[in-house]
């Protein structure tokens, strides 16, 4: 089997390292950074450099780039991709990428699926990539509406090979709406939370709740800014809803309304118990 990985950051590098451990797989990789390519060769995470001349040999292509870069890559390389190839992107938003990917796939005859690995760390780059990153994780797939069951099953088998435990099938619209809450909002809140003037004196006064809330405050600004802008209406809805809810707590505390505050806290507790 011939697999290509485009973009050897944390996600793409982890795909490359995971597949490199399997037998009978030839890995074609591409990254704009020559040092990263050299490191991937040294670590045995690639066999050949991916080019327009050999991309047509690939059975599967994983594109792990920022959304706009993914669209640019597909525009440039689509004419050289085989009709027997399945292309899976790994970006954090889906509507823009899927619109471009499905259109190019229809034009040139290959198969395209949107994808989003539900795994990662607050570190970025190939040096932090690891073969076990996807162990036990879920992969979201956004297939075209008329995708065959056989193609989906083959992709699922490949993802299991990389370590994923489950696959969730979604539409691009559903993905972007839900991910704004489950992932993007958490990064905004964490990043804003550490801007308190008391953040610099937290040591000795912080424990698990502080660590949990600030874990993703350290992020890749360029990547997350692009993801937020790509999903602007969904993430702004979540931010504004959170502000509205926080205002209720603030108002109750300012007014000294202990009964209202207990009610708000009980509501949140009940919701958490119901959703897990």
What pLDDT does residue 276 have? 87
| Closest CA relative to residue 43, chosen from 22, 24, 21, 65 | 21
d(CA 231, CA 144): 20
What pLDDT does residue 177 have? 98
pTM for this model (two decimals): 0.92
- Could you tell me if 80 and 87 are in contact, meaning their C-beta atoms sit under 8 angstroms apart? no
267, two tokens: 């509501």
What pLDDT does residue 38 have? 97
Q: CATH 3.40.50.720 spans which residues of the chain?
A: 2-170
Average pLDDT over residues 34-47: 96
Chain position carrying tokens 């007014």: 255
Q: CATH 1.10.3660.10 spans which residues of the chain?
A: 175-275
Question: 3-class DSSP state for residue 126?
Answer: helix
Confidence of residue 120 (pLDDT cuts 50, 70, 90): confident
Question: 3-class DSSP state for residue 192?
Answer: helix
| Closest CA relative to residue 128, chosen from 268, 8, 35, 220 | 8
Confidence of residue 121 (pLDDT cuts 50, 70, 90): confident
166, β-bridge pairs: 138
CA count, 13 A, side-chain hemisphere, 176: 23
What pLDDT does residue 22 have? 95
Question: CB-based contacts of 252: which residues, under 8 Å, 6+ apart?
Answer: 258, 260, 261, 264
Average pLDDT over residues 68-75: 96
CATH superfamily of 175-275: 6-phosphogluconate dehydrogenase C-terminal like domain (1.10.3660.10)
Q: H or E stretch including 73?
A: helix 67-77
208, β-bridge pairs: none
> Phi then psi for 61, rounded to 5 degrees?
-130, 120
pLDDT at 183 over 90: yes
More reliable by pLDDT, 203 or 28: 28
- For the chain, give the mean pLDDT: 96
What pLDDT does residue 123 have? 82
Kind of pairing between the strands at 111-118 and 138-142: antiparallel
- pLDDT tens by residue, 122-172: 788 999 999 999 999 999 999 999 999 999 999 999 999 999 999 999 999
Q: What is the CATH number of domain 2-170?
A: 3.40.50.720
Which stretch of 46-50, 107-111, 117-121, 233-237 has the lowest confidence by average pLDDT?
A: 117-121
Q: What percent of the chain has pLDDT over 90?
A: 96
Confidence of residue 238 (pLDDT cuts 50, 70, 90): very high
d(CA 173, CA 234): 10
What pLDDT does residue 86 have? 98
d(CA 6, CA 33): 12
- Could you tell me if 126 and 8 are in contact, meaning their C-beta atoms sit under 8 angstroms apart? yes
Confidence of residue 242 (pLDDT cuts 50, 70, 90): very high
């Amino acid at each position: 089997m011939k697999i290509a990985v485009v973009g050897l950051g944390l996600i793409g590098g982890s795909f490359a390292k995971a597949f490199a451990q399997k037998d009978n797989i030839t890995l074609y990789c591409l990254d704009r950074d020559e040092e990263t390519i050299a490191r991937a060769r040294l670590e045995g995470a690639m066999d050949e450099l991916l080019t327009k001349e050999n991309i047509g040999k690939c059975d599967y292509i994983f594109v792990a780039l920022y959304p706009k870069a993914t669209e640019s890559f597909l525009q440039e390389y689509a004419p050289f991709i085989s009709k027997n190839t399945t292309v899976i992107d790994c970006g954090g938003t889906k509507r823009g990428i899927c619109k471009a990917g499905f259109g190019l796939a229809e034009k040139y005859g290959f198969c395209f699926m949107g994808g989003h690995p539900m795994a990662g760390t607050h570190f970025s780059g190939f040096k932090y990539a690891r073969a076990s990153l996807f162990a036990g994780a879920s992969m979201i797939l956004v297939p075209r509406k008329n995708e065959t069951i056989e193609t989906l099953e083959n992709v699922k088998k490949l993802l299991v090979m990389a370590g994923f435990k489950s696959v969730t099938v979604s539409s691009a619209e559903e993905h972007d709406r839900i991910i704004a809450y489950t992932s993007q909002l958490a990064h905004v809140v964490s990043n804003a939370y550490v801007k308190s003037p008391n953040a610099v004196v937290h040591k000795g006064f912080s424990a698990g709740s502080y660590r949990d809330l600030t874990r993703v405050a350290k992020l890749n600004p360029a990547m997350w800014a692009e993801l937020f802008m790509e999903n602007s209406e969904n993430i702004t809805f979540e931010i504004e809803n959170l502000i509205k809810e926080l205002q209720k707590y603030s108002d109750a505390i300012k007014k000294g309304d202990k009964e209202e505050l207990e009610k708000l806290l009980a509501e949140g507790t009940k919701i958490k118990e119901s959703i897990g």
